[in-house]
Each structure stands twice: as C-alpha cells, then as structure tokens.
Structure 1
C-alpha cells in the first residue's frame, strides 16, 4: 500500500508543469555583483584574500595532488554533467582525487585554462 501511494505521489509531482517550480528558484538565486548588496554581505573568494597568485595556486594544486579536478561544483555535489561523470568514473576505480570549484572564482577558471 505504502509503495503504491509513494508511486502515485511521485507520478503526480512529475506531471506538474515545470513553470510552477521556476517561481521558487527565482527567489533563491544570488547575484554576486549586485550593487544593492552591502559589501559586508557580498561573497568573497578565499583565494583572492590569500595573497598568492592564481597561477601559483594552480601549480601548487597540480604538484601536491596526483589527480586534481577543476570542476563545476564539488565532488559530492557536481553542478554539470561532465563534472559528475568525471567524478563518478574516478570513484568507480577508487582513484583518490582532489577538486576545486571553478564556479566560486571565474578568474581561477581563466588561470586553469592558461596553465601548462
């Protein structure tokens, strides 16, 4: 009985129009460079405040970690399909990995692209 009830509930929820849920997400998004946000409440990057250049951070990450992934999100919560697939494959083969979220700092993404 409980299983069929859960099945019915899930089926009805999935049948709801997607437009109905967009109103919820509209209020939960953040704009990091919003001019109306006081400076004390804006997100800060730990990398920017460390005094170390992004190039040095990328070099250090690559030297210290056998497998380093610069990904969208974090391994436990990837934010794109490619990142999720990469993490899943590495975990399947028990490869120890380190990761850094490039969505937190757009300049880090640029530094990774220029790294050789």
Structure 2
C-alpha cells in the first residue's frame, strides 16, 4: 500500500507537460471514478450575458462561507481545500497532497480556493492556518502537504484513514 517517496513525488510529472485546464462549466458536485468530490463554480465572466451567469446560491440563502466550510469538514471524511481540483492541481503542494491521499484509495472531497478569495479567507479563519492546501480528516484539521507526506512516511496517515472506505 505505501508507495516509495520518489514514486509519490514524481508520479504524473510526464502528464504536467500536456496542457490541462479544467472546464469552466464543471458541475458543483461531481463524483469521479476515484471517489472524489469536486466543489467548483462557473466563472463569472463579464462578457457573459446575465441569463447565462451563475447565480450565487449563498447570497439569498442565509448560509455563510464559514457555515459552508464547517459543513464540508463535518460531512466529508477527507476534505481538501486546495489550489485547483484533484484531477488538475494548480500548485505542486496541492498536487503532492492529492498524490499522497490517492495512495489510500479513500474518497477525497475538494474545493478550489482559487475560484473564490472569500472562501480562501473563510478556510483560513476556520483552521487558523495561513497556507494551502489544507487537509481535514474526519472533521479534524491535519495540515498541509508536508504534514500529510510525513504522516504517510511514518505510518500515521494509514492509521488515520483506516476506517474510511472507498465508494467506488
């Protein structure tokens, strides 16, 4: 189950040379064949006609971003706030966190903090941690990619994830 450090760090580097950009029209909830949930939004392009612009469901719902973050962390066994999405990470640290977590074949839920600066601030306020990615397991803030990698190397991550099953 535990892969070598070099295979985790360098897996997929060849795919980085290909152009990879996620669709701007990805659904708000998507379950991929890795058991991952992506929470994304559609770009609010000023050149888009008002009829086609996404409606911000939070504006009139009375739900704050702090409530959204709290709900995400409580309802998802593995929640990852990252730059990009698991299939298309937008930074090396986010990519490393995803690759380490994929070693355990657990469902990963994720939100792209690059899409909403207010969400980014809400996550920082919730965790009291300034950097991304941020990994939460079973409602507990764990840390970033360096901490996840360290936990993987010393066996703590396997123990932390042992009763989370993949829903493939």
1:102 aligns with 2:102: no
More helix by share: 1
Partner Cα distance (2:112, 2:57) in 1:
11
When normalised by structure 1's length, the TM-score is: 0.60
Partner Cα distance (2:77, 2:108) in 1:
7
More strand by share: 2
Partner Cα distance (1:64, 1:48) in 2:
18
Cα deviation for residue 38 of structure 1 reads 5.9
Query: Which structure 2 segments of 5+ residues have no match?
Result: 1-16, 18-42, 128-168
RMSD of aligned alpha carbons: 2.8
2:123 aligned partner: 112
Residue of 40, 53, 75 corresponding to 2:50? 40
Tell me, yes or no, if the aligned pair for 1:71 and 1:83 is still in contact at 8 Å: yes
**How many equivalent residue pairs?**
85
Partner Cα distance (1:82, 1:47) in 2:
30
Look at both structures and tell me which one has the larger radius of gyration over its CA atoms. Answer: 1
| CA 1:38–1:67: 2 relative to 1, 3 Å | closer
Cα deviation for residue 95 of structure 1 reads 2.7
Partner Cα distance (1:81, 1:45) in 2:
32
Partner Cα distance (2:52, 2:121) in 1:
22
Q: Deviations over 1:59-115 (max 9, x none)?
A: 000100111001111111111111111000000122321101111111000000000
| CA 1:58–1:47: 2 relative to 1, 3 Å | farther
